[in-house]
Amino acid sequence: MISIHADPAALAEAAAIRLLTKLTTVQAARGEATVVLTGGTLGIATLAAVAASGKQDSVDWRRVNFWWGDERFVPKDSPDRNEQQARQALLEQLDVDPVRVHPAGAADEFADVDAAAQAYAEELRQAAQAENTPVSPYLPGQVPRFDVLLLGMGPDAHIASLFPEMAGIRETGRSVVAVRDSPKPPPERVSLTLDAINSAAEIWLVVGGNDKAGAVGLALAGASPVQVPAAGARAQRKTLWLLDEAAAAEVPGSLLDGGSNDRDEEH
């Protein structure tokens, strides 16, 4: 499904409202909900829009589980960490249960990025084992239920910290990978694998800007995930592309004509 919005601000607002609605619906069905957060300008703007929304009280935030799709392997208090940005934009504004907040390890907590990745994988495994509900066929017993997994995308079509042609995007059978020599700084990161990402019930790719248009077009045209990692994002139930007008400029026309798409023209 593709949903197009006028500009980045409208896109972040729309994503926030969708997220609040989805979490409320999931909690009504089973009491708790799990969301996997992303960083980046639009990812954090979406979280800030959730915090600012008049509908945020519809969610019982004490019963929301928070994970991250990837994290930069830098010190815990670094402003570069997705965790720190998410806390400032959203988590510090809410009454969350700290036990349900699951950031990946930092550079001042682990000896190296491999140890941080291994610890994050183990935390995911323990959460999966504690659940009594069915999970996806991907990585059985290794990841818990992800109701919504948010992703941004770079101009090179990377998602989380899975970059084109690098080892991480080729990894199978594991939930977490340690990333070295990232094409964008910092060089070391912890990332969910594509198998872990695709275990989610719903994946939402929130993408804005004309510098992303080519990558969006390639991903939606069915390019190889090794060259275009975003093309490999395939959720168990729904894969939703939330785009602004600029990012949607090269979406194949046949997809825009489909009945599963919508366009928000509000400014």
215 pLDDT band, cuts 50/70/90, is very high
CA 61 from centre of chain: 18
Cis peptide before 229 (omega within 30 of 0): no
Determine contact, residues 208/42, Cβ cutoff 8 Å. yes
139 pLDDT band, cuts 50/70/90, is confident
What CATH number belongs to 2-259?
3.40.50.1360
**How many Cα atoms occupy the beta-carbon half-sphere of 23 within 13 Å?**
25
**How many Cα atoms occupy the beta-carbon half-sphere of 230 within 13 Å?**
26
Q: Which two tokens stand for residue 95?
A: 């009454």
Share of the chain above pLDDT 70, in %: 94
The 3-class secondary structure across the chain, one letter per residue, is CEEEECCHHHHHHHHHHHHHHHHHHHHHHHCCEEEEECCHHHHHHHHHHHHHCCCHHHCCHHHEEEEECEEECCCCCCCCCHHHHHHHHCHHHCCCCHHHEECCCCCCCCCCHHHHHHHHHHHHHHHHHHCCCCCCCCCCCCCCCCCEEEECCCCCCCECCECCCCHHHHCCCCCEEEECCCCCCCCCEEEECHHHHCCCCEEEEEECCHHHHHHHHHHHCCCCCCCCHHHHCCCCCEEEEEEECCCCCCCCHHHHCCCCCEECCCC
Beta-bridge partner residues of 102: 67
**pLDDT score, position 111:** 97
Determine contact, residues 231/177, Cβ cutoff 8 Å. no
Tell me the mean pLDDT in the region 84-103.
Answer: 98
Chain segment 24-79, per-residue pLDDT in tens: 999 999 999 999 999 999 999 999 999 999 999 999 999 999 999 999 999 999 99
Question: How would you classify the pairing of strands 70-72 and 189-192?
Answer: antiparallel
Q: Distance (Å, rounded) from C-alpha 31 to C-alpha 28?
A: 6
Count the neighbouring beta carbons within 10 Å of the beta carbon of residue 180.
15
pTM to 2 decimal places: 0.94
